[in-house]
Amino acid sequence: MAYSVPASNTLDGMILQDLDVVATTQSGDILGTEVTARNGRKFMYCVVHVGCVVTRLGGHPAYFIADTTGPMVTSDATEGTADDAGLVFAGLFTAAIVAATVQYVWIEVPNGAVTPDASVSTNVAVSSALAAIGTADQYLDVMVNGTSTRVIAMALEADTDQVADIIMFKNGGLSGTGA
């Protein structure tokens, strides 16, 4: 005999209910846990660095910082870990975070699936190659020709109000000299 499980009791339902929740204490022993929703989107449970000096909203980029206590992220590009291809992009915040506070939060990580409503610069067109930072570190921005940076996403729609659907690339995307 088959039975149905309410959507709120599935892994997807439980995770998606908690995506917009920011906590000041860790929820169990799940730091670094990565989960995949049925639609292919992936999320990781991270801690926001206490030195984070910039308040951000859901959809804004998160950057990894070097730390030994687990996946630690920041919203401030100046604190982010960099390599020869630019900032190490962690993903997108799913909730608003407050500066100078240790917080635990789910971020959406690069996954090859459609990510709705990412924060993008005002000049994004369909199929624009996006970098983790451009004119402001709260937005993904169009990769500038002739720069050596990492392409982390592609816009699926033209930007009209600084949010657009995107596809984030797995493994940090591509690096190169302009698009």
Q: What average pLDDT does the structure give for the chain?
A: 74
The amino acid occupying position 71 is: P
Phi, psi of 81 (to 5 degrees): -75, 135
Which candidate, 106, 118, 136, 38, places its Cα nearest to that of 128? 118
Mean pLDDT of 156-172: 80
- The span from the CA of 76 to the CA of 73, in Å, is 9
Mean pLDDT of 110-136: 81
pLDDT digits (tens, 9 = 90+) for 72-117: 888 877 776 665 445 578 889 888 888 888 888 889 998 878 888 8
Q: What is the DSSP letter of 98?
A: -
Mean pLDDT of 119-126: 84
pLDDT digits (tens, 9 = 90+) for 144-163: 766 656 788 899 988 767 88
pLDDT at position 8 = 46
Distance of CA 92 to the CA centre of its chain: 2
Residue 100, token pair as written in the block = 């100078």
